[in-house]
Amino acid sequence: MTVDRELTEDRDELNSAAELVELAPERVPAALEALLMMATEPISEVDLATGLGVNPAEVTAALADLVEFYRQTGRGFELRQVGAGWRYYTHPDLAEVIGQSVLAGQHSRLSQAGLETLAVIAYLQPISRSRIAAIRGVNVDGVVRTLLARDLIIEAGRDEATGAGLLSTTDYFLERMGLSGLDQLPPLAPNLPDAAQLDAELSQIVATSMGGNDRETEPGPDESQPLVTQHSEGVI
């Protein structure tokens, strides 16, 4: 009880101190820039407003003004809404320059197998490991573990019919790809079947090959080979 009371008192003192800081409307854009410059992940408009002690509507308007200002002045970065919040990104037009100079040899590496598996999950989610394995023709347990450890995918419940665990991409995946939602994923090539058709065919294949049980495959040998991958707004 004593600890809870002390924590409450400390929080009240912090809130009181925050109330003493009044931010003039014309300083809101600069304050947003300062907060976003320190951000290691996207920050929501509500959190920005709370941090500055201003109305969320002021934050929304100021963010829109900053986006337009950066666009008109041709900056080497841009402010973008990604996933659940806002964050600065290098301008996509400068991706080649950055790749050749600043980030050369410093990318976090994801294997070819990891890229292929991540693509399957992104377009067909939620999807089970056995269906991913059916698409790729190899065991994917090791790759899935890597993607889970990197917070690019999550376990998203179980299939009602088979009980198999399902996998989906995360908000962090969207952030790293520079996307606001899955609807911004590039369309599949026109000669490939759409996701619904492919999923139906895979369901039939899995049911036939596994006797109707969509169970997980046993771990197999690591099929990974390092491959540097980069995106115009970030690196996976």
Mean pLDDT is lowest, of 114-128, 157-171, 191-205, 218-232, for 218-232
> 116 and 205: one domain?
yes
Tokens of 179: 């996307």
Confidence of residue 75 (pLDDT cuts 50, 70, 90): very high
Instruction: Give a yes or no: residue 103 inside a domain.
Output: no
Write down the mean pLDDT value for the chain: 77
CATH number, domain of 176, equals 1.10.10.10
CA dihedral 151, 153, 157, 163 (to 10 degrees): -130
> 86 and 137: one domain?
no
Q: What is the pLDDT of residue 206?
A: 58
> 31 and 117: one domain?
no
> 119 and 71: one domain?
no
Specify the number of domains making up the chain.
2
> 172 and 123: one domain?
yes
pLDDT tens for each residue of 116-128: 999 999 999 999 9
Q: What is the pLDDT of residue 54?
A: 92
> 57 and 142: one domain?
no
> 77 and 117: one domain?
no
Find the mean pLDDT for residues 21-27: 83
**Domain end position, chosen among 56, 90, 124:** 90
Strand order in the sheet with 153-158: 127-128, 165-169, 153-158
Inter-residue contact 177 to 115 (CB < 8 Å): no
Instruction: Give a yes or no: residue 224 inside a domain.
Output: no
Instruction: Give a yes or no: residue 66 inside a domain.
Output: yes
Report the half-sphere exposure of 172 (CA within 13 A, side-chain side). 12
- Alpha carbons 79 and 120: distance in angstroms, whole number: 29
> 117 and 202: one domain?
yes
> 59 and 127: one domain?
no
Instruction: Name the nearest CA neighbour of 115 among 87, 86, 140, 78.
Output: 140
Report the half-sphere exposure of 116 (CA within 13 A, side-chain side). 17
> 61 and 31: one domain?
yes
Domain housing 148:
112-209
> 118 and 199: one domain?
yes
Instruction: Give a yes or no: residue 226 inside a domain.
Output: no
- Alpha carbons 128 and 160: distance in angstroms, whole number: 12
> 122 and 73: one domain?
no
Confidence of residue 144 (pLDDT cuts 50, 70, 90): very high
Instruction: Give a yes or no: residue 167 inside a domain.
Output: yes
Instruction: Give a yes or no: residue 230 inside a domain.
Output: no
- Alpha carbons 208 and 116: distance in angstroms, whole number: 24
